[in-house]
């Protein structure tokens, strides 16, 4: 008899515990959804705060060399747009390649004389951004009167729009510049200069919301 009572009490305890857990879960699922307040925001950026990097590769181990173009101008500096897409799509830019800095003055002199001088006309890269979609942004690069497109992947983290793409010097018709720097740096590069160049752009986005 005592065993039967204990057994019944145990069953009731388990049922009560299960009921309590079930009730708790039900309460969690019926909580009111978070309401996100809609705001009207204007988007802009400052070209002086934008960073444009390049990355080239040398030796069979594909060692990376990074530089930054210090001079960039656009036709939308300090203008406001109703969305990030409107800000990006159609923007025109110009980069002064002679402003490239890699942290090595001797290397920078060689790059200007044996690469950028042949890679660009008057040390200028002109281009535009367009077709910003969920996957990429299309960049059109104009050199020596010929425009080429490259796809830039992008992300927006902590208010910084970061874009990255890779271009082939051969596909861009820059074999003269490639052969020049390859010959100049043959020993330093241990006989191997890579054809692909990465482009990385970091744009701090200014967001003005009402």
Which pLDDT tens digit goes with each residue over 56-99? 999 999 999 999 999 999 999 889 999 999 999 999 999 999 99
Say what percent of the chain tops pLDDT 70: 80
| Whole-number pLDDT of residue 16 | 37
Give CA 63 to chain center in angstroms: 21
The answer on pLDDT for 13 being more than 90 is no
**How do residues 135-184 score in pLDDT, each as one tens digit?**
899 999 987 677 899 999 999 999 999 999 999 999 888 999 999 999 99
The H or E element that residue 4 is part of is helix 2-29
Tell me how far apart the alpha carbons of residues 104 and 111 are, in angstroms, rounded to a whole number: 11
> Residue 39: pLDDT band by 50, 70, 90 thresholds?
low
**Measured between alpha carbons, how far is residue 75 from residues 19, 36, 106, 150 in Å?**
66, 34, 33, 20
- CB-CB contact of 141 with 147 (8 Å): yes
DSSP summary character for residue 17: H
Say what percent of the chain tops pLDDT 90: 68
- pTM value? 0.77
Tell me how far apart the alpha carbons of residues 130 and 52 are, in angstroms, rounded to a whole number: 17
Give me the DSSP letters along 109-129. HHHIIIIIHHHSBTTEEEEEE
């Amino acid at each position: 008899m005592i065993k039967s009572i204990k057994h019944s009490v145990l069953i009731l305890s388990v049922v009560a515990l299960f009921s309590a857990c079930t009730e708790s879960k039900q309460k969690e699922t019926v909580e009111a959804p978070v309401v996100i307040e809609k705001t009207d925001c204007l988007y802009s950026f400052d070209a002086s705060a934008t960073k444009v990097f390049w990355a080239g590769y040398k030796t069979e181990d594909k060692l990376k060399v990074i530089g930054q173009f210090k001079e960039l101008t656009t036709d939308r500096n300090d203008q406001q747009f109703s969305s990030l897409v409107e800000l990006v799509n159609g923007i025109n830019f110009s980069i002064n390649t002679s402003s490239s800095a890699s942290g090595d003055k001797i290397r920078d002199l060689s790059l200007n004389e044996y690469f950028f001088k042949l890679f660009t006309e008057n040390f200028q890269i002109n281009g535009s951004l367009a077709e910003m979609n969920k996957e990429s942004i299309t960049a059109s690069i104009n050199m020596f009167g010929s425009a080429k497109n490259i796809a830039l992947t992008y992300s927006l983290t902590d208010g910084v729009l970061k874009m990255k793409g890779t271009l082939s010097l051969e596909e861009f018709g820059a074999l003269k510049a490639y052969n020049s720097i390859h010959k100049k740096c043959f020993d330093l590069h241990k006989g191997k200069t890579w054809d692909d160049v990465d482009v990385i752009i970091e744009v701090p986005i200014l967001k003005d919301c009402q």
